[in-house]
């Protein structure tokens, strides 16, 4: 097992947990902002995906 396999396993587990956390949320719930200066869940998920993509481009 090399680094890429370990990375793939970790990201697969992370994605599974993320899907479980988001399961059952409506689009309105995912876009809810508790305050005008805060972000909604969909933005946080988008941002996490961008960071993961950057890590893969740099380290894999």
Q: Which helix (H) or strand (E) holds 28?
A: helix 27-30
Q: What pLDDT is stored for residue 55 in this prediction? A: 85
Provide the phi-psi class of 11: left if phi over 0, else alpha when psi is between -120 and 50, else beta.
alpha
pLDDT tops 80 at residue 59? no
Alpha carbons 42 and 31: distance in angstroms, whole number: 6
Q: What pLDDT is stored for residue 21 in this prediction? A: 96
Composition of the chain by helix, strand, coil, percent to 5 = 70, 0, 30
pLDDT in tens, 1-54: 888 888 889 989 999 999 999 999 999 999 999 999 999 999 999 999 999 899
Q: What pLDDT is stored for residue 7 in this prediction? A: 84
Alpha carbons 32 and 26: distance in angstroms, whole number: 10
Q: Where are the domains of the chain?
A: 3-59
Q: What pLDDT is stored for residue 3 in this prediction? A: 82
């Amino acid at each position: 097992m090399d680094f890429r396999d370990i990375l793939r396993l970790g990201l697969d587990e992370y994605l599974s947990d993320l899907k479980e956390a988001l399961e059952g949320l409506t689009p309105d719930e995912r876009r809810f902002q508790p305050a005008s200066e805060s972000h909604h869940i969909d933005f946080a998920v988008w941002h996490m995906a961008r960071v993961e993509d950057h890590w893969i481009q740099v380290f894999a």
